[in-house]
Amino acid sequence: MARRLSTRKRPRREDKQLKERKKIESEVFDRQSMLVLGSFLNRGILKSVDYPIASGKEAVVFRATAGDKFEKDEEYVAVKIYRIETSDFVRMQDYIRGDPRFLGVKRAKRQIVYAWTRKEFRNLEICADAGVPAPTQYVFKDNVLLMQFLGEEGIPDSLLIDVGSDNPEKDCETLLGYVKKLYEKEFVHADISEFNVMMHGDVPYLIDVGQGVLLDHPKADEFLRRDVENILRYFRKYDVERNAEDVLKEVKASV
Ligand SMILES: Nc1ncnc2c1ncn2[C@@H]1O[C@H](COP(=O)(O)OP(=O)(O)OP(=O)(O)O)[C@@H](O)[C@H]1O
Ligand SMILES: [Mg+2]
């Protein structure tokens, strides 16, 4: 009897392994994401997944090394994996609802995160189309997005929040110019801030475009104002003074 009790108490090896696996899955990504990564590796699109560049609540971004079958002349690839479990899919729905490109997306959590990934890919296409610097989109599957790695000699570029601006007048103007160019394509990024701008040399790049919306989204105007105000707020500490209303007028004059 005593023996049976003690064996029952001792965690079984499989349990331990399962727990470990679950821990990795919840901390990094789920099995399905691993299978998708595996398929990119098997097909030679990626040679290796090297290390996480950043890990947040919604997504983990890795540097990966391009494989033999990768068609662009780039050594590295950025791999963004959206988390299924911890993503704020209620918030995501807010940005997907009202977007005619995503009618009929089922409400299931996984489906919403997949739609979000697809949306980020499409939004990167719009940036490219508008001639606004953002990572070139490569391919996506499920919740995994492959895009241009922004960095130099394998080292990822820094965010504006971390390096600051060497030329605030110019960088402020450049970013407002991006807002305008995107608006001309009937698109609003909807999360521009010093946290979502990477400095590639001296060129600011917009990243994290998943929440971007088309102008017919009910909150497009509100998001546009917030983007402009965020840019102006950031550069105000460098004594760059621009009036938000004037900027908004200028942006909208183009459409
Ligand atoms: N194309 C890229 N090349 C190199 N690094 C990148 C690239 N895209 C993103 N990163 C890095 O990964 C970080 C997170 O990326 P991103 O802002 O797109 O995700 P996120 O949605 O903000 O994730 P979370 O808010 O959950 O952290 C960025 O701050 C940046 O450091
Ligand atoms: Mg971000």
CATH code of 199's domain: 1.10.510.10
Residue closest via CA to ligand 1's atom 31 equals 54
Question: 67 CA to middle of ligand 1, Å?
Answer: 22
Domain boundary among 152, 187, 204: 152
Q: Which residue has the tokens 């965690």?
A: 11
Total of domains in the chain: 2
Residue closest via CA to ligand 1's atom 27 equals 56
Residue-range definition of the domain harbouring residue 27: 22-152
Both tokens assigned to 43? 């097909």
For the ranges 14-23, 86-95, 237-246, the maximum mean pLDDT occurs at 237-246
- Residue 34: is its pLDDT beyond 80? yes
Q: Is 162 a catalytic residue?
A: no
Domain boundary among 97, 126, 152: 152
Of 20-29, 82-91, 145-154, 198-207, the least confident? 20-29
The span from the CA of 95 to the CA of 2, in Å, is 58
For the ranges 10-14, 106-110, 147-151, the maximum mean pLDDT occurs at 147-151
- The arithmetic mean of pLDDT across residues 248-254, rounded, is 94
CB within 8 Å of 40: residues ≥ 6 apart: 46, 67, 79, 141, 144, 146
Max Cα separation, the chain? 83
**Which tens digit of pLDDT belongs to each residue from 113-142?**
999 999 999 999 999 999 999 999 999 999
Q: Is 208 a catalytic residue?
A: yes
**Nearest ligand to the C-alpha atom of residue 161:** 1
* One-letter amino acid of 149: F
Q: What is the pLDDT of residue 22?
A: 61
- Residue 19: is its pLDDT beyond 80? no
- Distances, alpha carbon 48 to alpha carbons 135, 136, 221, in Å: 20, 20, 42
